[in-house]
Amino acid sequence: MDHDPQFQKSRRGFLGGLGATAAGLSLAQAGAARAQAKPDPAITEIQDWNRYLGDGVAANPYGKPSKFEKGVVRRDVEWLTASRESSVNFTPLHALDGIITPNGLCFERHHGGSPEIDPSKHRLMINGLVDKPLVFTMDDLKRFPGRVNKVFFLECAANGGMEWKGAQLNGCQFTHGMVHNVMYTGLPLKVLLDEAGVKTNGKWVMPEGADSSAMTRSIPIEKAMQDCLVVWGMNGEALRQEQGYPLRIVVPGWEGNMWVKWLRRLEVGDQPWHHREETSKYTDLLADGRSRRFTWIMDAKSVVTSPSPQAPLKHKGPNVLSGLAWSGRGTIRRVDVTIDGGKNWQTARIDGPVLPMSLTRFYVDFNWDGREMLIQSRAMDDTGYVQPTKDELRKVRGLNSIYHNNGIQTWLVRSNGETENVEIS
């Protein structure tokens, strides 16, 4: 955008806004001009942090964010919380940047609470239709050849489910925050299955959790062999307890429910098990009362994270619009953004790594004159799939669905900068 004449103009406006008298001043000169105009105690007074020694190195053996960032936390929604053990909280997407979700901010979804597992007592069993049933300790897994590192998003199928019938929750943390994006360390599931030797009639794999919900799902053998992982690391350190310490399965691009945490067993079978989580739950109920049998893949989706209800616009003039896009079918190719409710679209600037089945960051540097805006983003992946509107989804799926809502989100930015979750048709 730097060579865009529109932007050059707005950059001069930016300096003007800081109190500079002539266009083309450096930021430092502009700052000096502001200091002359009105004494700013942040400049004229020596602050305590400049005067006294800081904290010693041992003060914080495991580092924490600055206390001034204390609002950047996972949050829950009271009416969605039946009990603390069977619950969900949400990633604060509006306050994050880049593509990696910090470990302490990854949303949590537990069906039977988060168990504290002693890794020395944890085992992974592989049984069923295999030549050689196996049991691994954590140490066995960590010295098994073939370790890999891969970045993937995990999105709960229920992300945005509350919005199916219309705009509900005021903040992208709540409308879109059942997603996180992590670099995992572990082993391809294939190397473990090959070690056990899958029999020719072994067509499905069932991961089972060691938590009190004993979560189970059916994964087709092709997917298990293609790109699933068994992982113990996230973002360079051990999995957090909430994310399945000491072991979880990663099912790239597929609904989060299949990513069984606290993984203790993999059973190989000849057909799907049709357990609770793949029949009564995580199933899409259509308008005519029939259900889709399985909906595994998370289709392309995007959201503008800033501005958004929790990150309103504070300044006229230059602003940076930012957002996230992802697709369970592959790589994000393009994201288009509108600020006038869909009359005009422009292609956003994608920045940072663009990886398959990973969150992808986009920006639009824009100039805000204080006008009301209707902001939307629309993702396109490398299969050519284009993110649909919510009305397009409802036409196909009716109003009974909860899961797999990847419709286009609209934010209304008012002239005072306040931002609201709305829907336009």
Mask of contacts with ligand MTE, 84-113, x by CB under 6 A? ----------------------xxxxxx--
- Locus of tokens 């909430």: 242
With CB atoms as reference, the residue minimizing the distance to ligand MTE is 209
Q: Which residues in 250-269 contact Co ion (CB under 5 A)?
A: 256-257
- Reading the block at residue 270, the tokens are 């000849």
With CB atoms as reference, the residue minimizing the distance to Co ion is 156
Q: Rounded CA gap, 98 and 13, in Å? A: 27
19 vs 113 by CB, closer to ligand MTE: 113
Smallest distance, Co ion to C-beta of residue 156, A = 3
Q: Which residues in 90-109 contact Co ion (CB under 5 A)?
A: 109
Residue of the chain from 156, 215, 339, 375 that contacts Co ion (CB under 5 A): 156
CA-angle at 311, arms to 366 and 107, nearest 5°: 120
233 SS3 class: strand
**Piece of the chain touching ligand MTE by CB under 6 A; list 45-53, 258-266, 366-374, 394-402:** 258-266
Residue of the chain from 10, 173, 213, 387 that contacts ligand MTE (CB under 6 A): 213
Q: Which residues in 207-226 contact Co ion (CB under 5 A)?
A: none
Q: Do residues 380 and 386 lie in contact, with contact meaning Cβ atoms separated by under 8 Å? A: yes
Q: Does 267 bind ligand MTE (CB under 6 A)?
A: no
Q: Rounded CA gap, 241 and 136, in Å? A: 20
Q: Do residues 337 and 372 lie in contact, with contact meaning Cβ atoms separated by under 8 Å? A: no
Binding at 211: pick from ligand MTE, Co ion, none (beta carbon under 5-8 Å per type): ligand MTE
Residues pairing with 143 in the sheet = none
Residue of the chain from 76, 195, 242, 420 that contacts ligand MTE (CB under 6 A): 242
250 SS3 class: strand
Q: Which whole-number Å values give the CA distances from 152 to 160, 182, 215, 341, 411, in the listed order?
A: 19, 6, 21, 31, 27
Q: Which residues bind ligand MTE (CB under 6 A)?
A: 106-111, 154, 156, 180, 209, 211, 213, 215, 242-243, 256-257, 259-262
